[in-house]
Amino acid sequence: MRKFALGVYRVSWRTFTVTLLVWRVRLVRMIWGDNDAAQFVTRARKHAVIPLLRALGAAVDPSADVETGLILHNAHGGLHHLTIGPRCHVGKDCLIDLAAPVTLEPRCTLSMRVTLITHIDVGQTPLRDEFYPVERAPIVICEGAYLGANVTVLHGVEIGRCAMVAAGAVVRQPVAEKTIVGGVPAQVIRKLETR
């Protein structure tokens, strides 16, 4: 009987604290802006991450699994650029740049420390005028795709359905469906075949 009572207390307390945190984030967003509010997501406990993402404007399915330490860059326009589909997994310490839309389709997996960069901006250097103007482009991780630990995906890339990206790869070109890629820059290793 005692374990049951403690379990009910823990669940109701968790709901209460998450609700308070969501209201606090909304207040911080009104006063200091989206970037400051997004800092709460980085420091949040796992059970609070998805409610906070939703409170800041992201479209996150309730069946998604988002780990702690999620870093959101360029969140000054809100998190409406972020879409996380059903049964997606986002590992610990991932960095998502929201200068352009990022879409994680159903059942895709981002392992720990994956980095998704949706823009290039070299700052105020002369390189900006002559070689590298500011570019923004969306990233799409299609259904069932898997990105290994420490993968970096650059702006404008689409990772195809059921594709695999090996750990540590830097992806700067689209990846075809059911393909394994790896390396810096990422190259095709082989096609996946059904057994």
Catalytically active residues, by annotation: 119
Q: How far is CA 107 from the centre of its chain?
A: 14
Nearest to 80 by CA among 58, 49, 105: 58
Give the number of other CB atoms < 10 A from CB of residue 179: 19
Q: Which amino acid is at 74?
A: N
> From the CB of residue 86, how many other CB atoms can be counted at a distance below 10 Å?
13
Rounded (to 5) percent helix, strand, coil in the chain: 30, 25, 45
AA identity, residue 110: L
DSSP three-state, residue 106: coil
The whole-angstrom separation of Cα 30 and Cα 15 is 23
